[in-house]
Amino acid sequence: MPKLTSPLTGDFLFEYDYFSSEQVERASESTHAAWLRWRNTSFVHRATLMLEAANTLRRNKEEYGRLITEEMGKPLAEAIAEVEKCAWVCEYYAEHAEAFLRDEPVKTDASNSFVSYRPLGVVLAVMPWNFPFWQVFRFAAPALMAGNAGLLKHASNVPRCAKAIEDVFTEAGFPEGLFTNVYVPGGEVEKIIANPLVKAVTLTGSGPAGSVVAAAAGKYIKKSVLELGGSDAYLILHDADVAEAAKICATSRLINSGQSCIGAKRFIPVPEVYDRFLAAFKAEMATAKVGDPMVEGTRVGPLARHDLRDELHEQVRKSISMGAECILGGTIPEDPGAFYPPTILTEVQPGMPAWEEELFGPVASVIRAKDEADAIRIANSSSFGLGAAVFTTDTERGMRIAREELEAGACFVNGFVKSDPRLPFGGIKESGYGRELSLHGIREFVNVKTVWVG
């Protein structure tokens, strides 16, 4: 029986039972049955319900925001903004799904031939705790609008968020069982993937979890999409607006108390601006308010769990033991709660955790580069490839570097990497494969069907 404790105080919050194998099987059957009724509904009907889901989210955004903050520690203002973003993605696909999935005529030797996009069926979503509403809705909105059904296995430390999301779709009028939450441990995921009623799987999470899910999906020959970790590199070039770049870099590093796959992790200023950037960046990081996430103005709340905080601290300690210098933070506070202070490591070198691994918390690695070409080389040396950014007043050069040089799924110029329903989102290398959001996301879980008429 999992027990949920507060990341702020460590106090008991909630406990629940995992589903039995029989309960999971019944949930899968119910979701599949709902899909059989849903798959041929009109886009107009689906959009009406999806817009009502958006209304439900906005109407209850403070309640859902508090739930997010209680379970995983996100500052309340960010939690409410996360719920608002979920409403946006629902509205986006309600408006655009029909156009994205419209039959496409193709001229051939047939009297009529075209490409049709048809739903696959039940899609299993294995979701993380760091954005407990957004990660789910950015999958669910396109999947349901495409005519699929959803089976949700959420992170074990956000159980009430998982149930609340299921209830959003129920309250909006979606068929009972079309989107179903199941409480299961991670070790049971392969059994769900193996179920013939489940046609595909999407996972957002760690590399090891993605490897397990990808192997299971391959074993049972099912479509999978993986959005995994990241160690995004931000390049600060010689002509950058250093003060603005430092502010944007600190914002990206501290979003969600540093627990974001696309949060900036590695900062690579060229020699001409290294000292100025480091001073400005340190000032921005040092003034970020750490404290109770329910209090207005808090930028850094507790990390989601104490064990995650301790793992982060060990990465910092090991990097320091290997020669990194800690110029800010780096110590665990004595106060209760899973807090970790904004931390900056310099003199970071290959082989250190701060260079090689994802630091999932408010810890920044500042890396010396010899010049612009070396900065690009360092950025691309990571095994991750989720996002990257470049700061320069020469936007043409910035666009060239973003488009042609940086090895990542999303490359931004003079801004921090973020997800947007209008743009495809996903990574390369060990950051995963496939795309979410935009036209590309809704077409991941459909049968791209050729129809030929003689």
70 is catalytic: no
Whether 84 is catalytic is: no
The Cα 363–Cα 309 span in angstroms is 11
Two structure tokens written together for 382: 């990571």
Cβ neighbours of 307 (radius 10 Å):
10
**What are the C-alpha distances in Å from 400 to residues 250, 372, 412?**
24, 13, 11
Strands 384-385 and 428-429: antiparallel
Do β-strands 410-413 and 264-269 pair in parallel, antiparallel, or remain unpaired? unpaired
Read off the amino acid at residue 428. Answer: I
Catalytic choice (86, 161, 261, 326):
261
Q: Which of 70, 71, 78, 227 is catalytic?
A: 227
The answer to whether 281 touches 364, Cβ cutoff 8 Å, is: yes
Compute the C-alpha angle 448/125/356, nearest 5°.
Answer: 100
| DSSP output for 221-260 | T-EEEEE----EEEEE-TTS-HHHHHHHHHHHHHGGGG--
**Cα 243 to Cα 239: distance, rounded to the nearest angstrom:** 12
Interior/surface letters 238-272, b for 16+ CB within 10 angstroms, e for the rest: eebebeebbbbbbbbbbbbbbbbbbbbbbbbbbeb
Residue 338, classed as helix, strand or coil, is: coil
Under DSSP, the state recorded for 404 is: I
What are the start-end ranges of the E strands in 127-196? 149-153, 179-181
- Positions annotated as catalytic residues are 227, 261
